[in-house]
Amino acid sequence: MAYKIAISKATKNVLTETDPDNLIFSSDYNTLKYHASGDQAVVIDCADYYDSEVFFPFGTWYYHRKEETIAHGLGYVPYFTSYVDVFAGGSNYNMCPGTFVDFLYYYYAYAYADATNIYLVVEGRNDATSGTVTFNFAYKIFRNKLNI
Amino acid sequence: MTYVLKVTKAGENVLTATDPNDFIFNSELNTFKIIAEGNYYSQTVNADPKVFTIAHGRSSTPAVYAFAEFPDGKTTLPNEVDYNFAGKWWLLSVDATNIRLTFYKDDGGANYNVDIKYYIFETPGT
Is B75 in Cβ contact with A146 (below 8 Å)?
yes
Higher pLDDT, B72 or A2: B72
pLDDT at residue B126 tops 60? no
If you average pLDDT over residues B54-73, what whole number do you get? 95
pLDDT-derived band at A54 (thresholds 50, 70, 90) equals very high
Q: DSSP character for B91?
A: E
pLDDT at A13: 95
Chains A–B, number of C-beta pairs less than 8 Å apart: 86
pLDDT at residue A43 tops 60? yes
Closest CB to A20 among B33, B74, B79: B33
| Domains in chain B with CATH codes | 36-120 (2.60.40)
Chain B nearest-CA distance from A59, in A, is: 25
Is B69 in Cβ contact with A20 (below 8 Å)?
no
pLDDT at B109: 86
pLDDT averaged over chain B?
A: 94
Is B117 in Cβ contact with A114 (below 8 Å)?
no
| Cut 0.80: pTM above it | yes
pLDDT at A87: 76
Provide, rounded to the nearest whole percent, the portion of chain A with pLDDT above 70.
100
Q: DSSP readout, B12-81?
A: S-TTT---GGGEEEETTS---EEEEEEEEEEEEE-SSSEEEEEE---SSPPEEEEEEE-TTS-EE-TTPB
pLDDT at residue B1 tops 90? no
Going by DSSP bridges, is the β-strand pair B112-121/B63-69 parallel, antiparallel, or unpaired? antiparallel
* CB burial of residue B87 (10 Å; 0-12, 13-18, 19+): middle
Residue in chain A lying closest to B118 (CA): A146
pLDDT at A1: 78
Residue A117 CA to residue A73 CA, distance in Å, equals 7
pLDDT averaged over chain A?
A: 94
What interface predicted TM-score (ipTM) does this complex get?
0.92
Q: Are B104 and B49 in contact (CB under 8 A)?
A: yes
Residue in chain A lying closest to B25 (CA): A25
pLDDT-derived band at A25 (thresholds 50, 70, 90) equals very high
Is B75 in Cβ contact with A112 (below 8 Å)?
yes
Is A82 in Cβ contact with B35 (below 8 Å)?
no
pLDDT at B124: 80
